Structure 1
């Protein structure tokens, strides 16, 4: 597949999410593993690398920034603020969503230091803070562009209304949200809105947090720190029901002459020329498998089969528990509150 546009940047259809190296799945990579993976991605032509202040409470930026620095002029570096770790009076780091201008500025400046760069190519608001009008948050982020600290702006996990308001304040280059065969909220409006507005749709977790790869064990026992342990669709009863989808998906993959992971990536990329897939991994073999997904061609019949197989009503369990669902400005949640 051809390169895709994110604001002023041209990137490959498959990017690399760096979160897995430090955060969320219970097995952080060693420095040696991280370096090998990043170099393999660079050698394979990956252009977009994505991190955030939240990941490992800053450790992910500190890990990947120096490793990518020698290649800075040939990559697009993305990070996020507005959701970061804050140390409480008890000394424990906790995730805090804060979209106040002063906080966003501090988050950005801290990220620049950790990343070891003078400018972040694509800077996202990681979560919209409903206490702060989106216009205020984006307005402050636009001032970071004026000061040369950021080159383009993005948003993460927002709905159509918030996206349009933000874009009217300052041009938004990318919307990053979860999108995969089994997470289809994008189709309630944001996928079409980004297409209309000329905004890239950066689809994180395009393999459903590894579920769609078929490589998770049937009776998963989560290690400490793995966020899937608290997600409804990975709970034992729901997970057992969801596993039934993989056999018919495998049959489709065989007809498309590809693996399940390649099929999942290919499906996402076929949803529009403005869509970029953002999988994450700690393994080089998985990295190359993800990239091969961009070479898989799916005809209309196969796409229709996949759409029907993974219709939203066929998925058991929400993607987030209620507390986390309340933190994302998705159309599904907004509709549920009406």
Structure 2
């Protein structure tokens, strides 16, 4: 049984969740979705591994499907209908308010998004946490929170439970560091998505040939063949460090993300029960100062090729930031 737990922030500060969360995106946002029963077993395995009274933090999205519709939520609806005993053992966060691949945080859009999410989820589970997927720079924070320019400003208007940002050895820059520091000061949880660089750092993806045709990761700069080839030496060095600790490279990176602060909750994705358990075990791993430095030195030595960018129009890129 996994013992490491943490408290959420804001209005959910009474909720205890596992130290490592569970992202569901790649169960359904693939050209060929993962078989549903396999998804169910992956979710159940994580919940069953947690101490009594601890919830599994699940992360879904209104648009987590190839058609940008509610396929992920519909899958979850069937999960909760089949396994009602797991409803209250999960804390469900759902991202929404995206239209035409750009954020729309108008009052009407936010309301429609929440209603659409709940409709797709069905009657068995209510949303525990709603997240506007990105900041809509056209809508003042005051308007959005009463019906995020900065985390601090948003929190003065309404208590913020969590902020979701990308954090991994490949994505740990000044902005991430500032958000983590501010969240710690304000008692807000940081949900750190893609701690494994969208799977690349785990070592299973070495070239474009390892992805399904149409995989959304082809949109990202770091999944261009030349960049993947250039980043393989980093993965190999991390694998060597992980081997010296008798853990997997995935566990090494998840533990590294968790080490960035007690408020930081790594959010790896998993569609296999064995991988879910492997990820959760990373919450038990403590890296000492020399190991943290060695990992940072590996990144500094090789330099990460490519950036976090994806194929958006200039207007969409402006809104996504």
Q: Flag whether TM exceeds 0.5 (same fold).
A: yes
CA distance in 2, matches of 1:65, 1:206: 26
Pick from 96, 104, 110 the counterpart of residue 104 of structure 1.
Answer: 110
Q: How does 1:73-88 map to 2 (within 5 A)?
A: 73-83=88-98
Deviations 1:93-133 (A, max 9, x none): x5342111011011101111211246311111111111111
Partner in structure 1 of residue 47 of structure 2: 42
Partner in structure 1 of residue 182 of structure 2: 193
8 A Cα contact 1:266 1:296, kept in partner: yes
Higher relative contact order structure (alpha carbons within 8 Å, sequence separation ≥ 6): 2
Q: Secondary structure at the match of 1:276?
A: strand
8 A Cα contact 2:206 2:232, kept in partner: no
Does 1:55 find its partner at 2:64?
yes
Partner in structure 2 of residue 137 of structure 1: 144
User: How many aligned residue pairs are there?
Assistant: 300
8 A Cα contact 1:183 1:312, kept in partner: no
**In the superposition, relative to structure 1, how do residues 100 and 187 fare at CA in structure 2: closer, same or farther (>3 Å)?**
closer
Partner in structure 2 of residue 181 of structure 1: 169
CA distance in 2, matches of 1:219, 1:113: 37
Does 1:234 find its partner at 2:234?
no
Q: Secondary structure at the match of 1:123?
A: strand
8 A Cα contact 1:218 1:243, kept in partner: no
- The two structures, once aligned, show a CA RMSD in angstroms of 2.1
Partner in structure 1 of residue 318 of structure 2: 326
Instruction: Name which of structure 1's ranges 110-119 and 71-80 shifts more when overlaid on structure 2.
Output: 110-119
Q: Secondary structure at the match of 1:128?
A: coil
TM-score by length of 2: 0.87
Pick from 156, 159, 166 the counterpart of residue 168 of structure 1.
Answer: 156
Q: Secondary structure at the match of 1:211?
A: coil
Deviations 1:11-34 (A, max 9, x none): 0111111111111x4331122222
Partner in structure 1 of residue 127 of structure 2: 120
Instruction: Name which of structure 1's ranges 107-116 and 30-39 shifts more when overlaid on structure 2.
Output: 30-39
Q: Secondary structure at the match of 2:61?
A: coil
CA distance in 2, matches of 1:211, 1:36: 24
Pick from 251, 257, 262 the counterpart of residue 262 of structure 1.
Answer: 251
Q: How does 1:11-22 map to 2 (within 5 A)?
A: 11-22=17-28
Unpaired stretches in structure 2, ≥5 consecutive residues: none
**In the superposition, relative to structure 1, how do residues 187 and 52 fare at CA in structure 2: closer, same or farther (>3 Å)?**
closer
Does 1:3 find its partner at 2:8?
no
8 A Cα contact 1:262 1:292, kept in partner: yes
CA distance in 2, matches of 1:44, 1:30: 22
**In the superposition, relative to structure 1, how do residues 196 and 328 fare at CA in structure 2: closer, same or farther (>3 Å)?**
farther
**In the superposition, relative to structure 1, how do residues 210 and 64 fare at CA in structure 2: closer, same or farther (>3 Å)?**
same
8 A Cα contact 1:184 1:312, kept in partner: no
Q: Secondary structure at the match of 2:307?
A: coil
CA distance in 1, matches of 2:210, 2:56: 34
Unpaired stretches in structure 1, ≥5 consecutive residues: 85-93, 141-157, 330-338
CA distance in 1, matches of 2:61, 2:273: 21
